[in-house]
């Protein structure tokens, strides 16, 4: 019995593959559509895509086009071809704005851009684009069933941008370009007042001011030490029990010690 079942499955598989090959070579677009529809329903998206790519131009403006282009975009998404999925979903929503699938298509198009967003250390052009697309979706569908996920993705994307800017500022501190670090941290804190990196930014701003002051030429030392003092106070004001407290306190004590020389 097991051999018979296996044989029947093999025959069915061969027959299915044979029908697929026939559909690929056929000039009958309706036959191709029917096969692509079947394959899509079976979650065989890669095979379905080959047929969709063949017949898409022929179906523009036809009654079946809405269904076809939705499945076409979904097939790219399901096979993780996100650049193409984003393009096809945008095209679908533009062509069928009143479709019952328009909201889902708009979200998945924006989500495709979000998935394409690289790690924070790389160029963030795709991340900015993803934020723009996701915000456009939120504005267009403020009561969407996908709103919570869209907001969550926007938050993650925004934090990636914040981390990129923060790490760039910290990079100046790392290479001892403390003047540039101070400017970069000031801009970062002003641009992202609610950032989760604020405590770190405030500490490394203080560290940059401290290093610049302690190692300054005599003519500029007092002024720079006062900048360091204010930077320390801003850190403690933001978080009195900062994780950097021990290190920062020792540095601040040195700043106060050096400033005492200017009060005598």
Name residues whose C-beta falls within 8 Å of residue 30's C-beta, 6 or more positions apart in sequence.
Answer: none
* Both tokens assigned to 167: 């790490």
Among candidate residues 91, 86, 92, the one with its CA nearest the CA of residue 109 = 86
Contact 104, 112 (CB under 8 A): no
* Both tokens assigned to 215: 């190692």
The DSSP secondary-structure symbol of 27 reads S
- Segment 144-185, tens digit of pLDDT: 999 999 999 999 999 999 999 999 999 999 999 999 999 999
Q: Give me the phi and psi of 224, to 5 degrees please.
A: -70, -35
**CA dihedral defined by 17, 18, 22, 24, rounded to 10 degrees?**
20
Domains of the chain and CATH, by start: 1-59 (no CATH), 79-175 (1.25.40.10), 176-264 (no CATH)
Contact 106, 140 (CB under 8 A): yes
Measured distance CA(228)–CA(135) in Å, rounded: 39
- Segment 182-240, tens digit of pLDDT: 999 999 999 999 999 999 999 999 999 999 999 999 899 999 999 999 999 999 999 99
Is a pLDDT exceeding 90 seen at residue 42? yes
Is a pLDDT exceeding 60 seen at residue 15? no
Name residues whose C-beta falls within 8 Å of residue 66's C-beta, 6 or more positions apart in sequence.
Answer: 95, 96, 99, 101
Is a pLDDT exceeding 80 seen at residue 10? no
- Segment 106-138, tens digit of pLDDT: 999 999 999 999 999 999 999 999 999 999 999
pLDDT on residue 17: 64
Mean pLDDT of all residues in 52-68: 91
pLDDT on residue 9: 46
């Amino acid at each position: 019995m097991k051999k018979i079942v296996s044989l029947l499955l093999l025959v069915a598989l061969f027959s299915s593959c044979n029908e697929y090959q026939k559909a690929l070579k056929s000039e009958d677009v309706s036959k191709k559509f029917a096969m692509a529809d079947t394959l899509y329903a079976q979650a065989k998206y890669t095979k379905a895509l080959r047929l969709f790519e063949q017949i898409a131009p022929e179906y523009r403006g036809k009654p079946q086009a809405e269904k076809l282009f939705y499945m076409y975009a979904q097939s790219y998404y399901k096979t993780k071809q996100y650049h193409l999925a984003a393009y096809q979903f945008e095209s679908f929503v533009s062509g069928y704005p009143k479709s019952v699938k328009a909201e889902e298509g708009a979200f998945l198009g924006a989500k495709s851009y979000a998935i394409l967003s690289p790690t924070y250390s790389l160029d963030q052009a795709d991340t900015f684009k993803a934020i723009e697309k996701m915000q456009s979706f939120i504005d267009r569908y403020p009561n969407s069933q996908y709103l919570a996920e869209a907001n969550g993705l926007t938050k993650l994307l925004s934090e990636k941008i914040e981390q990129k800017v923060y790490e760039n500022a910290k990079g100046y501190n790392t290479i001892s370009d403390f003047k540039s670090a101070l400017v970069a941290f000031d801009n970062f804190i002003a641009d992202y007042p609610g950032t989760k990196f604020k405590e770190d930014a405030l500490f490394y701003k203080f560290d940059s001011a401290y290093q610049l002051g302690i190692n300054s030429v005599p003519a500029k030392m007092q002024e720079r030490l006062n900048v360091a003092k204010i930077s320390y106070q801003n850190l403690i004001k933001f978080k009195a029990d900062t994780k950097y407290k021990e290190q920062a306190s020792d540095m601040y004590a040195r700043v106060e010690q050096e400033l005492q020389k200017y009060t005598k």
